[in-house]
Amino acid sequence: MTNQDNKDNRAADTPEWIVCTLFEGDYHFGLAALINSLVSNGFQGCIAVGYRGSLPPWTNQLTFLGSNGDYTVCPGVRLTFILLDTPLHFANFKPAFMQHLLHDHPACKCIWYFDPDIVIRCSWSFYVRWVQHGIALCEDVNGTLPENHPLRCNWIELASASGLENPAPLREYYNSGFIGVPASCTGFLEIWQAAMRIAESEGFNPCTFTIESWTRSDPFFRGDQDALNIAAMYSRYPLTTIGPDGMDFAPGGSTMFHAVASPKPWRKNMLLSALGGFPPSASDKAFLAHSSSPIRSYSRIQLIVRRLSCNVGALMGRFYHRY
């Protein structure tokens, strides 16, 4: 190991910033693409991954560091796997996981959470500058929820009964798949968890993603995401936000692709989907673009077949599609 490698590993041991995510099952394909996109865009530091079940099959490609589930992805990038024992759905475990990481890394200046179906598409330096202005958030697909919307009025009633005061008159509705938090604003995570407790008091089960019988007319149809938006209303900390374009939900974005549609890119037969009138999306293409280096989530032949299917599907989409 070179002196530069030693220096890079020490920097990852005591990171100034941490990227984290949560995954289980076949989401390891998305995890690999997220990591690869971070590396290709200049990320250096620690990537902390909470998981249930088995480690990804591609960990045998990495350098095992012999302690604490740590691997080196490349010089300066350390991957830490943390086996979790929680009954909570991972969507509802995000603020607690971030608080746990900050407790274990007191020197950390900033922490970011990304869902494992996101790939980033711009220089990591942008994210570093972004979070210096406060809590970094992106608007959801339907990114507008007026300040006098009945759901917000309902949230305010429930939050007031729980002791939260002075909500901000927000009109934006944010996606919980991404958040950036500077160390000076980590109290936001406590507010997010307080909002999660309000959701539980209203019958939301944190061990599930959503309640099957509930609809958007219910105050906590999207438990963690609705709680995040309550936290944004009651935040004592500044918010710094991007519109729906930030996750490629609207044209003109440059920061992320978020594959919120079903099936996920790694489960989709892109050629059959195109035959049905649904050609590969930008998120599908970005996933495949980041599936080979430095982590190979498919064999060489599998990746060739998948990329060919994507390219043919995209060509078909020029002549036939329905939305």
Locate 19 and state its tokens: 């990227």
pLDDT level of residue 210 (50, 70, 90 thresholds): confident
pLDDT level of residue 15 (50, 70, 90 thresholds): confident
How high is the pLDDT of residue 316? Answer: 86
Locate 256 and state its tokens: 């992320």
Task: Check whether residue 96 and residue 172 sit in a common domain.
Answer: yes
Percent of the chain whose pLDDT exceeds 90: 84
How high is the pLDDT of residue 318? Answer: 85
Task: Check whether residue 58 and residue 124 sit in a common domain.
Answer: yes
Query: Quick check: 7 pLDDT over 70?
Result: no
Lowest mean pLDDT among 48-52, 63-67, 69-73, 256-260: 63-67
Number of Cα atoms under 13 Å in the Cβ half of residue 46: 28
Task: Check whether residue 239 and residue 272 sit in a common domain.
Answer: no
Q: Is residue 323 part of a domain?
A: no
Query: Quick check: 13 pLDDT over 60?
Result: no
Query: Quick check: 21 pLDDT over 90?
Result: yes
Query: Quick check: 11 pLDDT over 70?
Result: no
| Region 64-89 average pLDDT | 91
- What's the CATH code of the domain at 105? 3.90.550.10
Q: Specify which residues 19 forms β-bridges with.
A: 47, 112
- To the nearest 10°, report the CA torsion of 109, 136, 215, 169: 120
The residues, ordered by sequence, that sit 6+ positions from 122 with a Cβ below 8 Å of its Cβ are 41, 254, 255
How high is the pLDDT of residue 67? Answer: 67
Residue type, 69: G
Q: For the chain, what is the domain count?
A: 2
Q: Which domain holds residue 274?
A: 268-317
Task: Check whether residue 135 and residue 171 sit in a common domain.
Answer: yes
Helix (H) or strand (E) holding 159: helix 150-161
Long-range contacts at 156-160 (CB < 8 A, ≥ 24 apart): 156/233, 158/198, 158/201, 158/202, 158/219, 159/195, 159/198, 159/230, 159/233, 159/234
Lowest mean pLDDT among 57-61, 132-136, 209-213, 229-233: 209-213
Task: Check whether residue 90 and residue 239 sit in a common domain.
Answer: yes
Task: Check whether residue 272 and residue 151 sit in a common domain.
Answer: no
pLDDT digits (tens, 9 = 90+) for 228-275: 999 999 999 999 999 999 999 999 999 999 999 999 999 999 999 988
Tell me the three state secondary structure of residue 155: helix
How high is the pLDDT of residue 212? Answer: 83
Query: Quick check: 278 pLDDT over 50?
Result: yes
| Region 61-85 average pLDDT | 91
Task: Check whether residue 279 and residue 240 sit in a common domain.
Answer: no
pLDDT level of residue 319 (50, 70, 90 thresholds): confident
| Region 43-55 average pLDDT | 96
